Amino acid sequence: MRRRLIALVAVALFAAACTAGGGDSSGPAATVDPNANHDPMTLTVWSAFSARELKITTAVLQSIKQKYPWMTVKHVGGKDDAAIQRAINGGTPPDMAISFTPSFAARYCQTGAFQDLNKYLQADKVDKAAVWPAGMFSYTQHENVQCALPMLTDAYGLYYNVDLLSKKGFSQPPKTLSELADMAKKLTEYNADGSIKVAGFMPIFGFYSGNTVNTYGHTRAAQWYDNAGKPSLATDPNWAKMLQWQKALVDAIGYDKLQKFAAKMGGGDSEWSSSHGFETGKIAMMLDGEWRTAFIAADKSKVNYATAYPPTADDMPDLYGSGQVGGTIIGIPKGVKHPAESWLLVKYMSTDVGALTTLARGLRNVPSTNETLEKTDLASDPKFKTFIELVKNPKSTYKPLTPIGDTDEQMFGTFAEKWQAGNVPDLQAGLQQLDSQIAKQLQLG
Amino acid sequence: MATVAERPAAVPEKVRLAERRRRRRRSALRRQGIALLFMSPWIIGFSAFYVYPMAASLYFSFTRYDILSNPVWVGLSNYQFMFSSDGLFWQSVRNTLWIIAFLVPLQVAFAIGSAIVLTRVKRGLSLYRTVFFLPTMVPLVAAALGWIFLLNPAGPINRFLHLLHLPEPLWFYDPHWTKPGLLLLGMWMVGATMILFLAALLDVPSHLYEAAEIEGASPWQRFRHVTLPMISPVIFFAVVIGVISGFKYFTEAFVISQAGDQTGLDHPIGYPQDSLRFFTSHLYQQGFEAFHMGYAAALSWILFVVIMACTLVLIRGSRRWVHYQGGFR
């Protein structure tokens, strides 16, 4: 028995010894003179891009050769965050990583999995506040560790069907939540059997990516965490107000009717196809990202639409013009062999006006630096300009990052689903319980 | 003299014996060495791919570990958290027990029923067998996506229900109907078990039926007292495998709950309303999305222990109702 125990402990110690080393990237910034003579070298970049987007991004990444002829980039697509984490853990990370999951940035910063870029920024005298809008820092740094930089960004705005609104006598989109609810009810049309024919607005959580607690919470500047870092879903009354507003609108139209309408349209699947509710004229207004403009064009939808800032709470007019932002982040993984060269590439992909403009145009995303926001030709499209202005707004932000990724958002999302279905008898008690559960998840490490 | 003469003879005998023992031991060691040499590929594979990962995960279950940094020893706190603080753990347990309680008996019953029907087929047996078996060959993800289409509220099944003036559920959008939807998918994929039952049914000696018939047994009595005992080893096998698969139920639920969600935000894991949060989906979420890999390792060890316990209980219980031809156990 004793021998077995010793063997088990030995194996466990061996297992522990074989796990990832901490790695230290806290030294001074590695530097390289890009204009000096260099042997040709290849940097590997991993991202989850595929198909058309992979081609566009690869072309832009490889355009660095024009700036540094000695540098070649090999772009590997289909590599999600899990693959990047495994590579970091195994000591064979790519030279630059592109992540679609800004919610993971806190963990990357906290553990040093992505190196702190502050030292590189300081060494190159890059004034962060001057280069990027404030909202960009809400999802690229954690506790003063700038372990990622934005490549392109997304913003959520209001899309509205001009024809459907004018048919009901509306010439302007809603600016407040009251106006949104009022217009949503008036724009909703019913079939003879009482089912929904056209939805003025779909307030159902879980239906399309614009309908999340995050986008709705921003309409009231609701705070996820208090100053002490404790979950504040119950203590910030804006959450309860937001949920009550949403439930009142759901109940006014009918939860079952809305669910049937959403499901019969194909549910979440229709969001990425030409049967999208807004593109087919079945939804008059919705919150969605700037990428929808590209989808509407690609799907050859005939919807006559315009875009506006998301409506905000009636008592918070100063919030109008801002919204939820967040997008693709890039960083230098721990353990890269050529950190100085990796930095040159990261800097190029996060600050170069030409690269960002080309990439934004190709992917139809919002460019992330102040300079590109001013210079991009995408601003000439009034529908797209809305999103550029949203990104520029200093009140636009992402939800606070935590080391538990998007677990808090997922837990709140599930709670909101139960709430809208009428399965939460006491909202305040439910929010308190949710706060407690999120706090426990945070305590788990 | 004689005594003196005997002494030198006794010593070499002892030495000889010791030498023989040494040689025998050396030869045994050499044989063992050769055996080990031949076994070494398996030993290396077993150590690298079973022993090490299991030991590592056991160790991680007592640590705070996020893959990206070194594990920190926290003793039993992951296990304490699981049973005292994690509300979602109990939700995932309830969902998992539900799927085991309903899916396993239904799959077994449906597989037996289909196999019995096939034994009656006079012509085209191989065609029917292939048709019944075909769904088993479909990858799980593809099968789940196919059933998302079939059970779409505006899909073919609901259109058929509409024709019959029956209620049209929202299936995978309604927490009350998500798991029944999974039962339909599970029964559709019952081909592999059905083939086993078909083989077992064809193996039942016909003289037993003849004897029962002579004794005046009704069709139900023949099924109850001849067929069922004779195929009980296969039922036992199907139940054990079904229960183990039920505890590990993941792919179908994960694909269905995440369908259509490209941003990862509109459909949380277990969507809708945690009705599809099974034990393994909770484990996945904690390990790969919340970065609680130590806690996920603890969850996986509890799952391992529970599966082992259930399998042992089933094996012990089987002595009462499983009949092996020739009394073999």
Instruction: Tell me the per-residue pLDDT of A367-422, one tens digit each, with 9 for 90 and over.
Output: 999 999 998 888 899 999 999 999 999 999 999 999 999 999 999 999 999 999 99
- pLDDT of B300 above 80: yes
Flag whether pLDDT at B125 surpasses 90: no
> Which secondary structure element, helix H or strand E, spans residue A401, and what is its range?
none
pLDDT value at A23 more than 50: no
pLDDT digits (tens, 9 = 90+) for A316-335: 999 999 999 999 999 999 99
Flag whether A429 is in a domain. Answer: yes
* In contact, B280 and A429? CB cutoff 8 Å: no
Q: What is the mean pLDDT of chain A?
A: 91
Tell me: pLDDT of B226 over 80: yes
User: Strand locations in A252-363, DSSP E?
Assistant: 283-289, 305-308, 325-331
Query: B64 and A417 in contact by Cβ < 8 A?
Result: no
ipTM for the complex shown: 0.84
Same domain, A347 and A319: no
> Residue B6 has what pLDDT?
53
Q: Which pLDDT value is given to residue B123?
A: 87
**Mean pLDDT lowest among A32-36, A163-167, A270-274, B279-283:** A32-36
Residues A208 and A136 in one domain: no
What pLDDT is attached to residue A6? 53
How high is the pLDDT of residue B152?
87
Interval A290-324: pLDDT, tens: 999 999 998 999 999 999 999 999 999 999 999 99
Which chain A residue's Cα is nearest to B47? A11
Domain at A244, CATH number = 3.40.190.10
Q: Give the nearest partner residue to B263 out of A8, A209, A407, using CB atoms.
A: A209
Nearest to A61 by CA among A152, A154, A153, A155: A152
**The amino acid at B212:** A
Q: Which of A116, A121, A143, A123 is nearest to A132 (CA)?
A: A121
A168 vs A175: CA distance, rounded Å = 17
User: Does a structural domain hold residue A22?
Assistant: no
The SS3 of residue A316 is coil
Mean per-residue pLDDT, A64-73: 93
- B184 Cβ contact partners less than 8 Å away, ≥ 6 residues apart: B147, B151
**pLDDT-based confidence at residue B324 (cuts at 50, 70, 90):** confident
- Check if the beta carbon of residue B62 is closer than 8 Å to that of residue B74: yes
For residue B326, pLDDT over 70 is answered with: no
Residue of A86, A215, A290, A417 to mutate, testing the B interface (most B Cβ within 10 Å of its Cβ): A417
d(CA A10, CA A13): 5
Q: How many CB pairs under 8 A join A and B?
A: 160
**Shared domain check, A168 and A102:** no
Query: Residue B92: which residues within 8 A CB-CB, separation 6 or more?
Result: B270, B277, B278, B279, B281, B282
Summarize the confidence of residues B253-274 as an average pLDDT: 79
Judge whether B270 is closer than 8 Å to chain A, CB to CB.
Answer: yes
Report yes or no on A7 lying in a domain: no
Same domain, A267 and A172: yes
Residues A262 and A317 in one domain: yes
According to the CATH classification, is domain B80-327 in 3.10.580.10? no
pLDDT at A21: 42
Query: Does residue A11 have a pLDDT over 60?
Result: no
Do A68 and A82 belong to one domain?
Answer: yes
Q: Scanning every residue of chain A, which has its alpha carbon at the shortest distance from the alpha carbon of B61?
A: A12
pLDDT at B8 over 70: no
**N- to C-terminal Cα separation, chain B:** 68
Whole-prediction pTM value?
A: 0.87
Kindly tell me if the per-residue pLDDT of A33 is higher than 80.
no
**Residue A239 and residue A383 in one domain:** no
The distance of B18 to chain A (nearest Cα, Å) reads: 30
Q: Does residue A397 lie in a domain region?
A: no
Distance CA A161, CA A303 (A): 7
Q: Which residues contact B320 (CB under 8 A, 6 or more apart)?
A: none
Interface contact B148, partner A, CB < 8 A: yes
> Side chain identity at B248, as an amino acid letter?
K
Q: Are residues A170 and A295 in the same domain?
A: yes
Which tokens is A430 given? 């439910």
Burial A256-267 (b: 16+ CB within 10 A, else e): ebbbbbbbbbbb
pLDDT at B268 over 90: no
Shortest Cα distance from A25 to chain B (angstroms)? 13
- The confidence score (pLDDT) of residue B11 equals 67
Does any domain span residue A16? Answer: no
**Dihedral, CA of residue A143, residue A145, residue A151 and residue A156, to nearest 10:** 0
Q: In the prediction, which pLDDT does A8 show?
A: 47
Query: Considering only CB atoms, which chain B residues are within 8 Å of A411?
Result: 88, 268
The predicted structure's pLDDT at residue A271 = 85
Q: Is B129 on the interface with A (CB under 8 A)?
A: no
pLDDT number for residue A420: 96
Residue B263 has pLDDT above 90, yes or no: no
Same domain, A281 and A421: yes
B52: chain A residues, CB-CB within 8 Å: 11, 14-15
Q: Residues A239, A355: one domain?
A: no
Give yes or no for residue B182 having a pLDDT over 70: yes
Contact A268 B266 (CB under 8 A): yes
Q: Is residue A330 domain-shared with residue A280, that is, in the same domain?
A: no
Residue A272 lies in a domain: yes
Q: What is the mean pLDDT of residues B242-259?
A: 94
Domain around A89:
29-154+325-392
pLDDT at A150: 95
* 8 Å CB contact between B288 and A237: no
- pLDDT tens-digit map of B68-111: 889 999 999 999 999 999 999 999 999 999 999 999 999 999 99
* Domain tally, chain A: 2
Domain assignment present for residue A281? The answer is yes
User: Are A333 and A187 part of one and the same domain?
Assistant: no
Q: Tell me: the pLDDT tens digits for A189-246? A: 999 999 999 999 999 998 888 999 999 999 999 999 999 999 999 999 999 999 999 9
Considering the domain boundaries, does residue A9 fall inside one? no
